[in-house]
Amino acid sequence: MKKILVFTLILFAAFGCTKLDDTLYDRILPSDYTADPILKMSPIYEPMRDFLDWGGWWFAQEVTTDAVVCPTRAGDWDDGGKWRVLHQHAWDNNTEAITSMWGRFFGGAIEANKFIEEFASEAGNPVIDVALAKARILRAYYYYLLIDNYGDVPYITKYLDADPQPHRNFRKDIYNEIVNEVEQSIPYVSTGNSKTGITKAMAWSLLAKLYLNHAVYTGNVNNEYWAKAEAVCDSIINLQSYSLESDVLSAFVTRNENSPENIWVIPYDEDTYTGFNLHMRTLHYNSNLTFEMVVGPWNGFAMVESHYNTYTPDDNRHEWFMVGQQYTYDGQPIKDQGAGGLPLIFTPHIPSLEMGAGNTPQEIRMSGVRVKKFEIRRGAKENLSNDFPIFRYADVLLMMAEAQLRQGKTVDVPGLDQIRTRAGLPAGWSATLNGQAGLNELLAERGRELFWEAHRRQDLIRFGEFNKAWWEKPASTSDKNVFPIPQWVVDANPNITLDPVSIN
């Protein structure tokens, strides 16, 4: 699937949308646009564009965990404490990441409702039925994000007659609704391997997430859902359309749209579909010299030292990180002129979350391992052209192993050990996974393999680890497993604070 096509800049300039489906076009006439409902689905996808930046989703999934931190570096990155409160679980309903996600998620759901209502009267037409199924799966995806992050939320499936001040519905009821909707829609969608369209593999991946997290969303453990999670992961494997890359870098390179490992992605482009700027947030001000970038990075996000230490020294995934003396593209040592000309040396140790005047220039400006998991090509700009995977094949293999362990089974997942062997680690890892110790090791491996891909918060919650104390963060209470409803929503809708109601 190519990136953003010229026609989208013309037809969807107001939304900045992209055509994210199986068919490619280089020119769309007005008559074609009216005739093909798939071409009207772009606004449903559009909120995903902001997930890594102002939409807040990536920040809420990573900075709230034991893996990623954004320390205050003297006067830089304090930003009113908005990063610090995420890491320390001290947020409120005015914290930026929390207030931003709500509108994006509901925006996507509302656009899906609009599309479904527009074409519902034409159901029975095979083309329309496929389009409606895709829209329903997309709507279910946004509600999955809503219940994952906020718990009880309004479940709105109307557009024209929607209640302007809806009550919240129970998380467990919404869960049952969206699981049913995805299950019923899957027969209509293709088994093709489009990385941006709605395919069976994408829908099965979504179901795997829903099944695995069922106890979190419903409040009860149902062994049937572990078996269902295993089954849908097995269905993806049996498609034989996806495979692990042979090395730890290839799935994340620039222009990675053809990677066999990626199942469903956000198709970023440095010029036409911007929003992937995590490299700007992690790289040092002078890291532009390493990559001959045309812009200077902002020197913020880093790895928590304890998480970095979970990678053994022989793990090839160290290639994702920047530590030690930094060099220019042609191999010359970089000096940090802002720190008095000291050598630019990244150290894993971060002395404190709030690095004030008592810290040395090295600590303030250079502490913390930086991340280059997604390739930063020579001459990179403020935005990258790397697609960001929402669902990746390595995750499917790890989810299947987890589902088997939770059923008390012996782990038997084709290709699972390759995740470790391609990292240069010994073979036979899956044979060591048994019982609770196996689940603990699986969580650790998920943390290593899926680092920086916005899975960590959900994983820690599912494994009961999210509220434990970690570096610069005291133990928190279980109410932190969901974010509060944003204040701007409360101000606009007094019904939102009332007790949730069942879905009729």
Distance CA 19, CA 36 (A): 12
Q: Which two tokens stand for residue 157?
A: 């499936």
Considering only CA atoms, give the Rg of the chain.
Answer: 23
8 Å CB contact between 228 and 300: no
Backbone phi, psi, residue 368, to 5°: 100, 130
Q: Residue 258's pLDDT band (boundaries 50, 70, 90)?
A: very high
Which pLDDT band holds residue 35 (cuts at 50, 70, 90)?
A: low
Closest by CA position to 181, among listed 146, 210, 201: 210
User: Where is average pLDDT lowest: 21-30, 235-244, 246-255, 347-356?
Assistant: 21-30
As a CATH number, domain 1-189 is 1.25.40.390
* 105 contacts 146 by C-beta, under 8 angstroms: yes
- Assigned token pair, 131: 């389009």
Confirm if 171 and 151 have CB atoms less than 8 A apart.
yes
Distance between CA atoms of residues 71 and 464, nearest Å:
26
Phi, psi dihedrals of residue 336, rounded to the nearest 5°: -90, 100
Joined tokens for residue 303: 């790895």
Distance of CA 306 to the CA centre of its chain: 22
Q: One-letter amino acid identity for 188?
A: Y
- Sign (positive or negative) of CA dihedral 381, 385, 389, 394: negative
Q: Which of 259, 296, 264 is nearest to 396 (CA)?
A: 264
At residue 282, what are phi and psi to the nearest 5 degrees? Answer: -105, -35
Residue 56 has pLDDT above 80, yes or no: yes
**Mean predicted confidence (pLDDT) in 15-41:** 46
Question: For residue 434, what pLDDT is reported?
Answer: 97
Handedness of CA 148, 462, 236, 426 (dihedral sign): positive
Tens digits of residue pLDDT in 270-290: 999 999 999 999 999 999 999
Does residue 136 carry a pLDDT above 50? yes
- What are the tens digits of pLDDT across the range 82-127? 999 999 999 999 999 999 999 999 999 999 999 999 999 999 999 9
Neighbour count for residue 450 (Cβ, 10 Å): 18
Q: Which two tokens stand for residue 465?
A: 């680890």
Residue 19 to residue 91: CA distance in whole angstroms:
36
pLDDT reported for residue 324: 98
Entry pTM: 0.93
- Using a 10 angstrom Cβ sphere, with 0-12 exposed, 13-18 middle and 19 or more buried, the burial of residue 239 is middle
Measured on CA atoms in the order 234, 238, 239, 242, is the torsion positive or negative?
positive
User: How do residues 143-183 score in pLDDT, each as one tens digit?
Assistant: 999 999 999 999 999 999 999 999 999 999 999 999 999 99
Give the separation between CA 86 and CA 225, rounded to whole angstroms. 31
Where do the domains of the chain lie? 1-189, 278-371
Question: Which stretches does DSSP call E strand in 188-290?
Answer: 262-266
Q: What is the mean pLDDT of the chain?
A: 93
Confidence of residue 251 (pLDDT cuts 50, 70, 90): very high
| Buried-state track 366-389, b at ≥16 Cβ within 10 A, e below 16 | bbbbbbbbbbbbeebbbbbbbbbb
